[in-house]
Every structure is written in structure tokens, then in C-alpha cells.
């Protein structure tokens, strides 16, 4: 058999081949190395995930959210196995569903290694941190999802959440928050002019967990009326309150119940009361401002959730005197200016005094429960 060798031409096409051949060879080697780098760790990862998923069928899942036995233990470093994203509590799943969840969590940690490392390092600082981390199924995954405002990027979500829980732990509020994560805690109570009993309850890491870490619920005789979710976080050299949600009941007659409550509270609307309570909490902790999410930045505006958006936040923020920011959000000072009742028409002064007295009563109760526990 005779082999024929075709020499390269010295023309432009021959020169192109002379240049392209080593480039193509180098590119092939790079792609081969990249395939090996991605393929073999992936095989190992899947192998370990399958083993972990199978073994988890025969052992208790997650960690038990408990506090240290002594106050000093909160400052002690953890000596047990470190938390990972997989330690978040989860509902019972089939093996394939559990495996898919584990692969998704590992993919997040690989795609965002720096934020994931800082996030997990924070929760592994003390046993109190770890107890809070596993108190809610979704807390460990929050930095990867939209939170409070669509303008917040992952590093900003990380800073907000870590500073909030740092505040909770340093203020001694961790036991209260752990309790509120499992059951609503009454922190304020008053009676309307009809004699109905109203109660303000604190929840933590509740179903409004995309909008805030602490939630205030307003009830009338066990009937839910209104909720607001907020987070206390560090900004620059001070502290602020970020409010991500004001939401009424989902009951069919919720509007009528809100109107009835407004009449019963001397014309004070439930959502106005909730905002005043959040401002009072912030002022009690020395926060300067309340940051209010605008319509365009609400996390419910993300794809698939827009049909659930009904309330006009912007209109309400403007109504209560909040200043619009350049990013589309609004802000208010935590300290509320005193109302000059004498400037009102005489026929409205009596009811205004009753509204003011009611607000001051409930704000005092709420601040006494939260700020005293966190002093």
C-alpha cells in the first residue's frame, strides 16, 4: 500500500492550516482536561449522594434545634460535626426526591462557593447559631432565593441575614426566637370599643419567610386579621429595620373583618397599627430608619407569583409620609412624630385621643416583651 503525502501550500490557506493545527490540538487537550475535571468529581459526588441518601433512610434526619444548657455555652465554639446545607429539616421524601434535593444543594454550594462558605461558617460559630439554623426548613437556603427585595443580590442577602441573627444572639433573643419559630407568642393585648379582645403575636421564620425573619400577627378572638414581616439588620455604622410585607387575612370575608376592626379601634386601621408597632420596636433598639419595600421590588413579583400581588404598597407608604428612595423603596424614621391633636377639628379629637392611647398601650406592651428580653 502506498501512502501519498500532500505537502502544505505556501499560500494563505497553507499558512492558516499551519496556525490552526496547533491551536486545535491545544483546544482539544484543554477540553479533555476540563471533561476529566468535571466528570470524575461528578461521578464521585453522585456516588456519595446515593450512599448518603440510602443511609439516611435508617437514621434520624437533621439536628434537634435546642439551646445550650447554660448561658455560657452560647459563646462556646461548636465541637460536634459541622452543619452543612443538607442539615436543614425537611419533610419525608422518597429516595429519588431526596437525591435530587441533595444534588441541587451541592450544585448551589459549587456555583457560589464564597458565599456558601461564609454562610456556613456563621452558623457553625456556636451551638446557639446551629440551633437557630435548623429551627426552620428554609433558613439555610435563604441566601440562594429572592428575599425581601428583588434588588438584593446574594452578597447583600448574606450580609442582611447574618447581621440580623448576630443581633438576635447578641441581644439574648435566641430563646424567644426559637420558641416563636414553633408557636406564636402573645406579646400584646387590648380591647376594642366593642369589647372584643385583640392580640398581637410574634412568630419567627414563619410562612412569610421570603419577606422577613420576625413576623407580627394581629388576631381578634382567634381570627387572624393582619401580618407584617421585618428584619433588623446592620447598615453602615448603625441598625435599621427592613419591612418586606404587610398582608391581610386570606379569608373570604377579610375586607369586612378589616373594616369592622378599624371601627373597633377608633378608626385605626390594622395595617397602620402594625407599622407603628414595627417602628416602636426599631426605636426601642436604637434603629434609625424603617426601610419599606416598594411595589416594583417585592419578591412576589418574580416569575410565577405576579398573580398573587394585590396590595398597593407604594400608595400606603406615601399615605403615611414615607420618603421614596432612588431604588424604588421607601423609608421612615423609627421615631414617630407626635400628633398635634389640638390641630384637628374638635369633633375628631376624642377619637384621635383614643387611637393614640391604644397605639401607645400596645407599643408599650410589645416593646416591653421584645426590648426587655433583648436588653
SS3 356: helix
User: pLDDT by residue (tens digit) across 266-287?
Assistant: 999 999 999 999 999 999 999 9
Question: Is the domain of 318 the same as that of 183?
Answer: yes
Decide if 368 is inside a domain.
yes
Among residues 146, 149, 142, which one has the least CA distance to residue 298? 149
Question: Is the domain of 289 the same as that of 224?
Answer: yes
Question: Is the domain of 181 the same as that of 129?
Answer: no
Mean pLDDT of the chain: 82
Which pLDDT value is given to residue 101?
82
Which pLDDT value is given to residue 74?
45
276: its cell numbers: 407603628
pLDDT at 257 over 80: yes
Decide if 154 is inside a domain.
no
Which pLDDT value is given to residue 338?
80
Question: Is the domain of 118 the same as that of 263?
Answer: no
Question: Is the domain of 179 the same as that of 139?
Answer: no
Question: Is the domain of 270 the same as that of 190?
Answer: yes
Last residue of some domain: 144, 167, 199?
Answer: 144
User: pLDDT by residue (tens digit) across 296-352?
Assistant: 999 988 755 555 556 899 999 999 999 999 999 999 999 988 877 887 888 888 888
Q: Rounded to whole angstroms, how far apart are CA atoms 37 and 159?
A: 32
Q: In this structure, are residues 272 and 225 in contact, taking their beta carbons and an 8 Å threshold?
A: no
Global pTM reads 0.78
Last residue of some domain: 128, 144, 160?
Answer: 144
Decide if 26 is inside a domain.
no
Decide if 65 is inside a domain.
no
SS3 203: strand
Which pLDDT value is given to residue 70?
38
Question: Is the domain of 86 the same as that of 210?
Answer: no
Question: Is the domain of 304 the same as that of 344?
Answer: yes
Decide if 97 is inside a domain.
yes
pLDDT at 14 over 60: no
Q: Which of 84-98, 230-244, 311-325 has the lowest mean pLDDT?
A: 84-98
User: pLDDT by residue (tens digit) across 164-181?
Assistant: 999 999 999 999 999 999
Which pLDDT value is given to residue 57?
37
Decide if 84 is inside a domain.
yes
How many CA atoms does the CB half-sphere of 6 hold within 13 Å?
A: 3
Which pLDDT value is given to residue 11?
53
Decide if 73 is inside a domain.
no
2: its cell numbers: 502506498
Identify the H or E element spanning 14: helix 12-55
Question: Is the domain of 280 the same as that of 193?
Answer: yes
Which pLDDT value is given to residue 206?
82
What's the whole-number mean pLDDT along residues 33-54? 51
How many CA atoms does the CB half-sphere of 299 hold within 13 Å?
A: 19
Question: Is the domain of 204 the same as that of 347?
Answer: yes
Decide if 53 is inside a domain.
no
Band (pLDDT 50/70/90 cuts) for residue 160 is very high
Which pLDDT value is given to residue 121?
96
Band (pLDDT 50/70/90 cuts) for residue 72 is very low
Q: Which of 88-102, 143-157, 183-197, 349-363 has the lowest mean pLDDT?
A: 88-102
SS3 229: strand
| Domain span at 85 | 80-144
Domain count, the chain: 2
Band (pLDDT 50/70/90 cuts) for residue 35 is low
Question: Is the domain of 262 the same as that of 311?
Answer: yes
Q: In CATH, what number is assigned to the domain containing residue 308?
A: 3.40.630
Q: In this structure, are residues 131 and 178 in contact, taking their beta carbons and an 8 Å threshold?
A: yes
pLDDT at 161 over 90: yes
- Bridge partners (DSSP) of residue 248 are 226
Question: Is the domain of 243 the same as that of 308?
Answer: yes
Last residue of some domain: 144, 164, 185?
Answer: 144
Amino acid at each position: 500500500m502506498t501512502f501519498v503525502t500532500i505537502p502544505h501550500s505556501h499560500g494563505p490557506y497553507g499558512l492558516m492550516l499551519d496556525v490552526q493545527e496547533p491551536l486545535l490540538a491545544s483546544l482539544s487537550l484543554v477540553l479533555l482536561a476540563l471533561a476529566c475535571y468535571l466528570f470524575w468529581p461528578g461521578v464521585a459526588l453522585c456516588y456519595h449522594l446515593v450512599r448518603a441518601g440510602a443511609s439516611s433512610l435508617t437514621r434520624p434526619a437533621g439536628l434537634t434545634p435546642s439551646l445550650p444548657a447554660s448561658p455560657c455555652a452560647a459563646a462556646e465554639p461548636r465541637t460536634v460535626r459541622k452543619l452543612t446545607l443538607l442539615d436543614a429539616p425537611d419533610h419525608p421524601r422518597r429516595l429519588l426526591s431526596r437525591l435530587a434535593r441533595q444534588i441541587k444543594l451541592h450544585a448551589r454550594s459549587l456555583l457560589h462557593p464564597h458565599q456558601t462558605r461564609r454562610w456556613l461558617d456563621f452558623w457553625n460559630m456556636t451551638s446557639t447559631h446551629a440551633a437557630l439554623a435548623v429551627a426552620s426548613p428554609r433558613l439555610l437556603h435563604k441566601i440562594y432565593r429572592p428575599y425581601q427585595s428583588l434588588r438584593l443580590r446574594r452578597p447583600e442577602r448574606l450580609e442582611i441575614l447574618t447581621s440580623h441573627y448576630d443581633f438576635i444572639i447578641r441581644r439574648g433573643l435566641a430563646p424567644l426566637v426559637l420558641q416563636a419559630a414553633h408557636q406564636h407568642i402573645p406579646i400584646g393585648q387590648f380591647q376594642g370599643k366593642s369589647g372584643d379582645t385583640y392580640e398581637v403575636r410574634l412568630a419567627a421564620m414563619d410562612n412569610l419567610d421570603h419577606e422577613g425573619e420576625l413576623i407580627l400577627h394581629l388576631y381578634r378572638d382567634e381570627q387572624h386579621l393582619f401580618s407584617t414581616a421585618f428584619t433588623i439588620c446592620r447598615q453602615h455604622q448603625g441598625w435599621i429595620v427592613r419591612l418586606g410585607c404587610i398582608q391581610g387575612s386570606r379569608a373570604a370575608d377579610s375586607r369586612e373583618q378589616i373594616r369592622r376592626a378599624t371601627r373597633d379601634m377608633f378608626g385605626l386601621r390594622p395595617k397602620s397599627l402594625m407599622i407603628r408597632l414595627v417602628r416602636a420596636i426599631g426605636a426601642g433598639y436604637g434603629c434609625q430608619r424603617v426601610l419599606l419595600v416598594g411595589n416594583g421590588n417585592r419578591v412576589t413579583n418574580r416569575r410565577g407569583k405576579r398573580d398573587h400581588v394585590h396590595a398597593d404598597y407604594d400608595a400606603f407608604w406615601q399615605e403615611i409620609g414615607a420618603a421614596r428612595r432612588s431604588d424604588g423603596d421607601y423609608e421612615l424614621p423609627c421615631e414617630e412624630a407626635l400628633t398635634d391633636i389640638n390641630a384637628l377639628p374638635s369633633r375628631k379629637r376624642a377619637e384621635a385621643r383614643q387611637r393614640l392611647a391604644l397605639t401607645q398601650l400596645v407599643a408599650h406592651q410589645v416593646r416591653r416583651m421584645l426590648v426587655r428580653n433583648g436588653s
